[in-house]
């Protein structure tokens, strides 16, 4: 059955809880969270990223998150809480749904990087 982006977004938003910057800070403070920036490299270079976040563009996410592949990023651990963000929240929602389909259970969508930065969240260039 064919689907469109609106339907994909609805499914992703239903599967992946949206959290506030304050909730993300609480999760990060517990020490077992992986924060993932799924924006493209030029976006990260222009604005920086959440302090301590791993940058994995959306197009490479599955390849970095799959422990059976040689391209696996060891930061990805299914026992961790995973917090994703992008420029507006769309790519991070879709990425979160993908991670859930791959067996990651504690996956959250922080949404837009600008919301994190404007709330006083730590940023690194």
Indicate which residue of 27, 38, 56, 86 is catalytic: 86
User: Which two tokens mark 53?
Assistant: 């976040």
Place of tokens 């990023």: 73
Question: Residue 111's closest CA among 38, 14, 2?
Answer: 38
Tell me if residue 86 is catalytic: yes
Closest CA to 48 of 23, 85, 92: 85
Which residues fall within 8 angstroms of residue 118, CB to CB, at 6 or more apart? none
Dist. CA 73–CA 55, nearest whole Å: 11
Point out the residues that are catalytic.
86
């Amino acid at each position: 059955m064919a689907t469109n982006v609106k339907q994909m977004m609805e499914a992703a938003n239903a599967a992946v809880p949206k959290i506030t910057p304050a909730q993300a800070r609480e999760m990060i403070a517990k020490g077992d969270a992986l924060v993932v920036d799924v924006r493209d490299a030029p976006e990260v270079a222009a604005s920086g990223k959440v302090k301590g976040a791993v940058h994995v563009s959306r197009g490479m996410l599955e390849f970095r998150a799959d422990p059976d592949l040689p391209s696996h990023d060891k930061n990805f651990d299914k026992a961790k809480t995973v917090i994703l963000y992008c420029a507006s929240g769309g790519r991070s929602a879709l990425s979160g749904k993908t991670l859930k389909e791959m067996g990651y259970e504690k996956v959250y969508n922080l949404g837009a990087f600008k919301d994190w930065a404007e709330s006083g969240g730590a940023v690194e260039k």
